[in-house]
Copies of this chain bind each other. A is one copy, B any other.
Amino acid sequence: MATLGLVEYGDASPEVRAVYDDIMAVRKTDWINNFWKALAHDPVTLRRTWESIKQIMAPGALDALTKEMIYVAVSVSNQCGYCIASHTAAARKAGMTDAQLGELMAVVGMANETNRLASGYQVEIDARFKT
CB distance A52 to B48 under 8 Å? yes
The oligomer's copy count stands at: 6
A-B contact pairs, 10 of them (CB 8 A): A34-B125, A49-B114, A60-B99, A70-B108, A76-B119, A78-B111, A81-B119, A82-B119, A83-B118, A112-B115
When distances are taken between beta carbons in the complex, the residues of chain B under 8 Å from A61 are: 97, 99-100, 102-103
**A104 in the interface, Cβ–Cβ < 8 Å?**
yes
When distances are taken between beta carbons in the complex, the residues of chain B under 8 Å from A112 are: 74, 78, 112-113, 115-116
CB distance A126 to B34 under 8 Å? yes
When distances are taken between beta carbons in the complex, the residues of chain B under 8 Å from A39 are: 117, 121
Q: How far is the CA of A111 from the CA of B76 in the complex (A)?
A: 10
| Cβ-neighbour of A38 out of B83, B97, B99, B123 (below 8 A) | B123
CB distance B83 to A114 under 8 Å? yes
A residues adjacent to B (C-beta < 8 A): 1-4, 31, 33-35, 38-39, 41-42, 44-45, 48-49, 52-53, 55-57, 60-62, 66-67, 69-89, 97-126, 128-131
| Cβ-neighbour of A70 out of B97, B98, B107 (below 8 A) | B107
Closest 9 CB pairs of A and B: A42-B102, A74-B111, A61-B99, A113-B113, A80-B115, A76-B120, A85-B129, A82-B118, A109-B113
